[in-house]
C-alpha cells in the first residue's frame, strides 16, 4: 500500500457548559485531552497531529505533551453551535497556506473520548485505506431503542412508533447504531467533493468500552472508575 499523509485533528475549544474547562480537567492524574494525545502519538499510521483550540491553556498543555498547536482558532468557529466541519476546513486551509501540507486522509479525535485506544485509531485508518468508503466512524449498538420511546405532547406520552407494542421485547428490535464521537476518519477528497466529512459511503467501526463521550461530571466519574478499576475488576469474569 502506497504511503499516505494522515493528519489527526484534535478539536478542543475552551468553552464548555457541562464542565467548565472540560478538555483540561484532571482525569486519573492527567488532563482529559492528554489521553487522546497519547493514543494518537502512539499510532504508527499518523504522521501529523494538530490541536485546534481557541484557548491558551489548552494550547500550552498540548504543547507540553509534544503536540503542534500552530494557531489559536478564531472565535467565530469556537462557539457552542460551531460545527466540526468548520474546524476541519479551517485547519486544512491553515496547513495548506502556511506549511504547504495537504493530507490524503484526516482523522478527527475528540478529546472527550479518553478511552479510545491507539489500536482503534489504527483500525479506522486501515478500514478507510482498504475499503472504497468515503468515511469511517466509530459507532456502538444502541441499548435504548427508539421503537420503545415516546413523545411528550400536551402533557401526555405518545408512542414514537405507532405499532410500538409489536416491539415490546428487545429481541424484536432491529439493530441500530449510534456514533460515539471518538473517531471520524475520512479523505481530504471527501470534504472537497461533498463539503462533508461523511460522503455517501460510511463504514462503521464498532466499539464497546471506548464509547464514553464525556459531557458532565458523572461521565468524568464513571471514566475515572473505569481507568482505575476496570482491568482488575473484569478478571472476575475471565
Are 92 and 191 in contact, with CB atoms under 8 Å apart?
yes
Instruction: Report the alpha-carbon distance of residue 214 to residue 233 in Å, rounded.
Output: 22
Instruction: Report the alpha-carbon distance of residue 94 to residue 114 in Å, rounded.
Output: 27
Instruction: Report the alpha-carbon distance of residue 180 to residue 217 in Å, rounded.
Output: 18
Q: Is the model more confident about 236 or about 89?
A: 89
Pairing of strands 135-141, 177-187: antiparallel
179-228 confidence digits (pLDDT tens): 999 999 999 999 999 999 999 999 999 987 666 889 899 999 999 999 99
Instruction: Report the alpha-carbon distance of residue 180 to residue 10 in Å, rounded.
Output: 15
109-142 confidence digits (pLDDT tens): 999 999 999 999 999 999 999 998 999 999 998 8
Region of poorest pLDDT, from 15-24, 72-81, 198-207: 15-24
What is the enclosing helix (H) or strand (E) of 220? helix 217-233
21-30 confidence digits (pLDDT tens): 899 999 999 9
Are 142 and 178 in contact, with CB atoms under 8 Å apart?
yes
Are 8 and 122 in contact, with CB atoms under 8 Å apart?
no
Instruction: Report the alpha-carbon distance of residue 115 to residue 220 in Å, rounded.
Output: 11
Q: How confident is the model at residue 232 (pLDDT cuts 50, 70, 90)?
A: confident
Instruction: Report the alpha-carbon distance of residue 43 to residue 45 in Å, rounded.
Output: 5
Burial group, residue 125, by CB count within 10 angstroms (0-12, 13-18, 19+) = buried
Across the range 49-54, mean pLDDT stands at: 95
Amino acid at each position: 500500500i502506497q504511503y499516505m499523509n494522515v493528519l489527526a485533528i484534535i478539536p478542543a475549544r475552551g468553552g464548555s457548559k457541562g464542565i467548565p474547562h472540560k478538555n483540561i480537567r484532571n482525569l486519573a492524574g492527567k488532563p482529559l485531552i492528554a489521553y487522546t494525545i497519547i493514543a494518537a502519538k502512539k499510532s504508527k499510521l499518523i504522521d501529523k497531529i494538530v490541536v485546534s483550540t481557541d484557548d491558551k491553556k489548552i494550547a500550552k498543555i498540548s504543547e507540553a505533551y509534544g503536540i503542534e498547536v500552530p494557531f489559536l482558532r478564531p472565535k467565530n468557529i469556537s462557539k457552542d453551535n460551531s460545527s466540526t466541519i468548520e474546524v476541519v476546513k479551517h485547519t486544512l486551509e491553515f496547513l495548506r497556506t502556511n506549511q504547504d501540507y495537504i493530507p490524503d486522509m484526516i482523522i478527527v479525535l475528540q478529546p472527550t473520548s479518553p478511552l479510545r485506544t491507539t489500536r482503534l485509531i489504527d483500525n479506522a485508518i486501515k478500514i478507510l485505506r482498504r475499503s472504497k468508503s468515503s468515511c469511517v466512524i466509530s459507532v456502538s449498538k444502541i441499548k435504548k431503542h427508539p421503537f420503545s420511546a415516546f413523545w411528550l405532547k400536551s402533557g401526555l406520552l405518545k408512542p414514537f412508533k405507532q405499532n410500538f407494542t409489536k416491539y415490546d421485547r428487545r429481541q424484536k428490535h432491529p439493530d441500530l447504531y449510534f456514533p460515539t464521537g471518538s473517531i471520524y476518519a475520512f479523505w481530504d477528497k471527501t470534504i472537497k467533493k461533498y463539503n462533508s466529512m461523511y460522503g455517501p459511503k460510511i463504514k462503521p467501526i464498532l466499539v464497546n468500552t471506548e464509547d464514553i463521550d464525556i459531557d458532565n461530571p458523572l461521565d468524568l466519574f464513571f471514566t475515572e472508575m473505569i481507568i482505575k478499576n476496570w482491568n482488575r475488576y473484569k478478571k472476575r469474569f475471565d
